[in-house]
Amino acid sequence: MGFKIKPLLPIVLPIIITLVVSNYLQYEVMSNQIEFTTWLSHFGSYIILIYIVLQAITIIIAPIGGFFLTLTMIILFGETYAFIIGYLVSTPIYLINFYLARRYGRPLVLKILGQSSVEKLDHLVKDAGILILIMTRVLQSPNFDYLSYGWGLTKIPFKTFVLINFIAGIPGTFISYLIFSQFDNLFFGLLAFYISTGILAGLAIYLTHILKKHNQF
């Protein structure tokens, strides 16, 4: 039986288009900071509403990536307010991801994230408990759109996830803010952010391995 592409187009095509648009917008924000800020300022108070909708889309469809939205908010409101708003908006949306994974299970998560990403999540969250949940929320806040799906596939109670998601998200967001705020130039701030995200992800994976090995999770 040959592999049929047509049935997958309604799922794959929108994701591909959104990925391209996302990367383009991020490039535009970086290259035309003043012009982009001026354009967005015309929306007035509706900027926050637009941000919430777009951020929800990029978190629920995790492969899209929405850091260009954070850059936009930094340009418009400054680093402090941008990260506070980001925390207040993204944290409740992670609950949606958790619920979707818990309600519809692995088949839906595979469709959204892909086989490779789900396998990586399995390595982190399989048979894991509260301590590892706290650690991943603090150290991997930038990747928690993926992780919130992974935790939805575990036996962690929803109430426990809600509590840790909101509380541990505070130091997680603060770490991201500290890293980014060390640089006046957005490009270098973004570069440092990506590098530190990789380092913290590696640290989280290493600590998860150690905790599981000694059954301290």
Rounded Cα gap, residues 103 and 112, in angstroms? 14
- Structural domain includes residue 14: yes
Q: What is the pLDDT of residues 191-213, one digit of tens each?
A: 676 677 677 767 776 777 676 66
Buried b (16+ CB within 10 A) or exposed e, 78-115: ebeebbebbbebbbebbbebbebbbeeeeeebeebbee
- Structural domain includes residue 98: yes
Rounded Cα gap, residues 15 and 29, in angstroms? 21
**How much is the pLDDT for 117?**
85
**How much is the pLDDT for 98?**
96
Distance of CA 144 to the CA centre of its chain: 5
Domain count, the chain: 1
**How much is the pLDDT for 86?**
92
- Structural domain includes residue 178: yes
By residue range, what is the domain housing residue 58?
6-213
More confident residue, 42 or 190: 42
**How much is the pLDDT for 34?**
64
- Reply yes or no on whether the pLDDT at 119 is more than 70: yes
Q: What is this structure's pTM?
A: 0.76
Q: What is the pLDDT of residues 33-86, one digit of tens each?
A: 566 667 667 777 788 888 888 889 989 988 887 777 787 788 788 888 999 999
- Structural domain includes residue 209: yes
For range 181-196, the mean pLDDT: 70
- Structural domain includes residue 167: yes
- Structural domain includes residue 1: no
